[in-house]
Structure 1
Amino acid sequence: MRGFVTLEGVRHAYGGAGTQLAVDNLTLAIEKGEFAAVVGPSGCGKSTLMKLATGLQFPQNGVVTVAGEVVEKPVKIAGMAFQAPTLLPWRTTLDNVLLPLEIVEPHRKRIRRDRAAYRERAEALLAQVGLDGAGDKFPWELSGGMQMRASLCRALVHEPQLLMLDEPFGALDAFTREELWCVIRDIHAASGVTIILVTHDLREAVFLADRIFVMSARPGHILVEKQIDFPRPRDLELTYAAPFQDMVHELRGHIVEARK
């Protein structure tokens, strides 16, 4: 199996042998530069897939590869954003964005020497997501949507080849969520970064993704793989079109079946 991110015959449980499997025979391949979404019923192993693909967990059976290398340690070329922005309250927005550069090599060795250049990169990202001028603000001075924008910048500041999004917009109101769909759409178009999005929001998945993988109930495996052929760039008006709604309903039907 070839792909930028691949999982082949993966089995994993969190309590070791004898405990309930989170995923079993989980197999998929995602191409470089692709935007993939993973959907499925609660508890199906979507977040487990994310952890396996980034080296935060290792499978009991099967093989996970990223960029042609077997994942045996945390994946340095990945950035991650979660539902909770988890910004450090004592650091400004800019310093929160810079945090990965203080941890991830080779940036960790360079940041003291090249801090001005790194600050410029972080400020450019903040401007790209609509936070121009907000770098000196602390997290408690930002709205939920602004905090999530900052979290996305933090995930991107070390220029990852793979961006993992684990329900990043789930806690936001509908209008803010749709605004951030467009932010992610534009980031993907501009950078070509490979993105894997885990979401419960089927409209979000159809609007953003090139392909959608539907997972079964636990133990999770891929039930359906759906290509999304709506042309890019996609505008929010697309979400009101009949073909878009038909795709959402089709995916919902798959998940209803998966829960039985």
Structure 2
Amino acid sequence: MGTGFVDIDNVALRYGGEATGTLALSGMNLSVGKGEFIAVVGPSGCGKSTLMKAMSGLWPVTSGGVSVAGQTVSGPLSMVGMAFQAATLLPWRTTLDNVMLPLEITQPYRSEFMQKKSQFRDKARALLKLVGLEGFDEKYPWQLSGGMQQRVSLCRALIHEPALLMLDEPFAALDMFTREELWGVLQEVWMTKNPTVILVTHDLREAVYLADKVYVMSSRPGRIIHERDIEFARPRDLDITFRPDFGDIAHDLRDHIYTARQDAA
């Protein structure tokens, strides 16, 4: 294994049987440093979400190895927080109770939940304040906009202080203005909490705006075919997305994705 906080070593992953199943990943190598923010982009169906499942232990690899924090991944990891395109909040729970859900089901928090419930509620409220949702803790999901629901989902992913935050198209269903607003929220959360972040996205502007490094995957079976360091100073604001050098990076990444699609045709 490598020396990163997350190491993917020559991974292959096949769904549906060793002989006849779909080979989603092959020859996948990736190393992510502790506290780094990376983005993964690529053609549709290239295995980006499969890569997330392999990293988090939600799906076993067929061959190769995955390690996080120096430990081989052989099952679901409690040190991971995850947020997806759909917020998937429980409709019968308030905002505060949705955020606190991981504390009820993951150790060591589960065993001390009842005696520390007041402290955990304060912690959840502090996270909600960080993402601009102070005062919404007793609202239900149906009383929140889509962007607000995604903020709650992000808080839920962070409440147990995960060392690794994995985001699978978390803003894809939102309008452009809400999406751009949440880029700023996510950047602030990352700079405040400093988890290692792996973002899967189809939005190249989002990838370049948020990440330290962007990786491009090939068409299925997916592997890394290009990486690009993003060296803009932080904190970043939206004005940077209109700069020519920002556009040049996004166009370069698009060219690599286009080439990957053509190679698969």
TM range (shorter): over 0.9
In 2: Cα distance, 1:156 partner to 1:80 partner: 8
Note the 1:15-26 alignment, pairs <5 A.
15-18=16-19, 19-26=21-28
Show the 5 A alignment for 1:84-233: 84-233=86-235
Alpha-carbon deviation of 1:58?
Answer: 1.0
Within 2, Cα distance between the matches of 1:67 and 1:211? 20
The alpha-carbon deviation at position 16 of structure 1 amounts to: 2.0
- 1:88 aligns to what SS in structure 2? coil
Residue 20 of structure 1 and its aligned partner are, at CA, apart by 2.2
Which structure 2 residues correspond to residues 57-72 of structure 1 after superposition, within 5 A?
A: 57-72=59-74
Cα distance in 2 for residues equivalent to 1:208 and 1:73: 29
Q: TM-score normalised to the size of structure 2?
A: 0.97
Give the Cα–Cα distance (whole angstroms) in 1 for the partners of residues 22 and 50 of structure 2: 13
**For 2:136 and 2:52, how far apart are their aligned partners in 1?**
30
Give the corresponding residue for 2:77.
75
> What residue identity is the alignment partner of 1:9?
N
Alpha-carbon shift at residue 208 of structure 1 (Å): 0.3
Indicate whether 1:253 and 2:261 are aligned: no
Instruction: Classify the secondary structure of the residue corresponding to 2:148.
Output: helix
1:14 aligns to what?
15
The secondary structure found in structure 2 opposite 1:219 is: coil
Post-superposition Cα deviations, 1:1-50, rounded to whole Å, max 9, x if no partner, equal: 21000100000011121222000010000000000000000000000010
Instruction: Give matches, 1:32-47, under 5 Å.
Output: 32-47=34-49
Alignment identity in percent?
58
How many residues get paired?
260
Q: CA deviation at 1:233?
A: 1.1
Q: Which amino acid aligns with 2:214?
A: I
Aligned partners of 1:158, 1:178: CA distance in 2, in Å? 26
Q: What one-letter code is carried by the residue in structure 2 that aligns with 1:72?
A: S
Offset of 1:191 from its aligned partner?
A: 1.3
Deviations 1:197-256, CA, capped at 9 Å, x for gaps = 000000000000001110000000000011111111111100000000000000000000
Mapped to 2, the partners of 1:125 and 1:250 lie a distance apart of 36
Once residues 186 and 125 of structure 1 are traced to their aligned partners in structure 2, the CA distance between those partners, rounded to angstroms, is: 11
Give the gaps of 5 or more residues in structure 1: none
SS in 1 for 2:235: coil
Hey, what's the Cα distance between the residues in 1 that align with 2:26 and 2:202? 21
Report deviation, 1:172.
0.2
RMSD between superposed Cα atoms in Å: 0.5
CA deviation after TM superposition for structure 1 residue 192, in Å: 1.2
Q: Show structure 2 runs of 5+ residues with no match.
A: none
Amino acid corresponding to residue 34 of structure 1 in structure 2: E
- Distance in 2 (alpha carbons) for counterparts of 1:16 and 1:100: 32
4+ residue runs over 4 A deviation:
none
Partner letter of residue 256 of structure 2?
H
Structure 2 partner of 1:5: 6
* TM-score normalized with structure 1 length: 0.99
Look up the equivalent residue of 2:154 and give its one-letter code: L
